[in-house]
Amino acid sequence: MTQKKPSETGDATKRSPLFCDSLFAYKRNITRAVQVGTIGIGGSHPVRLQSMTTTNSLETEATAEQCLRIARAGGELVRITTQGRREALNLEAIQQYIRHKGYDFPLVADIHFNPNAALLAAERVDKVRINPGNFADGAKKFRDIDYSADVYQAELADIESKLGPFLEVCRKNGTALRIGANHGSLSDRIMARYGDTPKGMVESCMEFLRICRRANFDNIVLSIKSSNTRVMVHTVRLLVATMRSEGMHYPLHLGVTEAGSGEDGRIKSAVGIGALLADGLGDTIRVSLTEDPEEEIPVARLLRDHVTGRPGHALIEEVSAESYQPYAYVKRSSHQVGIFGKGQPAAVVMDVRQGTAFENSQLVPEAVLVSSVDVSLPSAFSNCIRLVPRQYMPDRPVADVWPLLDVRSFLSDVRVEGHKVLEVRYSDLDAALLGALRKDEDVVLLLTSDHVNALAEQRAFFLALEENGLTHPVIVHRRYSDADLAHVQIKAAADTGLLFLDGYGDGISVAAPKLAIAGLVELHFGILQASRVRFSRTEFISCPGCGRTLFDLQTTTKKVRERTAHLKGLKIAIMGCIVNGIGEMADADYGYVGAGPGKISLFKNRALVMKALPEKEAVDRLIELIKDSGDWTEAPPLSNIF
Looking from the CA of 48 toward its CB, the CA atoms found within 13 Å total 27
pLDDT given for residue 635 in this prediction: 77
pLDDT given for residue 542 in this prediction: 72
Could you tell me which of 68, 36, 37 has the C-alpha nearest to residue 53? Answer: 68
pLDDT value at 640 more than 70: no
- Mean pLDDT check: name the lowest of 2-6, 35-39, 587-591: 2-6
Q: Report the alpha-carbon distance of residue 286 to residue 617 in Å, rounded.
A: 33
User: pLDDT category, 579, cuts 50, 70, 90?
Assistant: low
Q: How many CB atoms lie within 10 A of CB 330?
A: 19
Q: Which residue has the higher pLDDT, 327 or 538?
A: 327
As a whole number, mean pLDDT of residues 261-268 equals 87
Q: What percent of the chain has pLDDT over 90?
A: 67
Determine the Cα angle at 78 with ends 77 and 80, to 5°: 150
pLDDT given for residue 415 in this prediction: 76
pLDDT given for residue 4 in this prediction: 40
The 8-class DSSP code of residue 38 comes to T
Q: Report the alpha-carbon distance of residue 6 to residue 325 in Å, rounded.
A: 7
Q: DSSP H helical segments within 548-638, as ranges? A: 553-564, 581-584, 615-628
Q: Which residue has the higher pLDDT, 579 or 231?
A: 231
pLDDT (tens digit per residue) in 384-441: 999 999 988 887 778 899 999 999 999 997 778 899 999 999 999 999 999 999 999 9
Q: What percent of the chain has pLDDT over 70?
A: 90
pLDDT value at 339 more than 90: yes
The mean of the pLDDT values for the chain is 89
pLDDT given for residue 546 in this prediction: 65
pLDDT (tens digit per residue) in 199-215: 999 999 999 999 999 99
Q: Report the alpha-carbon distance of residue 207 to residue 249 in Å, rounded.
A: 15
pTM: 0.90
pLDDT given for residue 596 in this prediction: 77
- Mean pLDDT check: name the lowest of 24-38, 130-144, 325-339, 412-426: 130-144
pLDDT given for residue 172 in this prediction: 98
Q: Report the alpha-carbon distance of residue 176 to residue 163 in Å, rounded.
A: 14
Range among 319-323, 489-493, 564-568, 569-573 with highest mean pLDDT value? 489-493
Is 170 one of the annotated binding-site residues?
no
CB-CB contact of 200 with 194 (8 Å): yes
> Is residue 98 helix, strand or coil?
helix
pLDDT given for residue 51 in this prediction: 97
pLDDT given for residue 9 in this prediction: 41
Q: How many CB atoms lie within 10 A of CB 618?
A: 25
User: pLDDT category, 453, cuts 50, 70, 90?
Assistant: very high
Q: Report the alpha-carbon distance of residue 252 to residue 85 in Å, rounded.
A: 28
CATH (residue range 22-308): 3.20.20.20
pLDDT given for residue 233 in this prediction: 97
pLDDT (tens digit per residue) in 508-556: 999 999 998 889 999 999 999 999 999 888 888 776 666 666 677 778 8
Q: Report the alpha-carbon distance of residue 455 to residue 323 in Å, rounded.
A: 18
Q: Report the alpha-carbon distance of residue 610 to residue 598 in Å, rounded.
A: 14
pLDDT value at 139 more than 70: no
User: pLDDT category, 578, cuts 50, 70, 90?
Assistant: low
Is 584 one of the annotated binding-site residues?
yes
pLDDT value at 140 more than 90: no
pLDDT given for residue 639 in this prediction: 35
pLDDT (tens digit per residue) in 219-264: 999 999 988 999 999 999 999 999 999 999 999 999 998 767 678 8
pLDDT given for residue 132 in this prediction: 93
Q: Which residue has the higher pLDDT, 425 or 606?
A: 425
Q: Which residue has the higher pLDDT, 481 or 569?
A: 481
pLDDT (tens digit per residue) in 302-322: 999 999 988 889 999 999 999
Q: Report the alpha-carbon distance of residue 409 to residue 411 in Å, rounded.
A: 5
Range among 39-43, 516-520, 629-633 with highest mean pLDDT value? 39-43
The 8-class DSSP code of residue 256 comes to B
Looking from the CA of 437 toward its CB, the CA atoms found within 13 Å total 26
pLDDT value at 381 more than 90: no
Is 20 one of the annotated binding-site residues?
no
Domain limits, the chain:
22-308, 347-530, 539-640
- Mean pLDDT check: name the lowest of 148-162, 257-271, 351-365: 351-365
Q: Which residue has the higher pLDDT, 425 or 183?
A: 425
53 φ, ψ to 5°? -70, 155
> Is residue 389 helix, strand or coil?
strand
Query: How big is the chain, counted in residues?
Result: 642
CATH 3.30.413.10 for domain 539-640, yes or no, is yes
User: pLDDT category, 100, cuts 50, 70, 90?
Assistant: very high
Work out the burial of residue 621: count CB atoms within 10 Å of its CB; fewer than 13 is exposed, 13-18 middle, 19 or more buried: middle
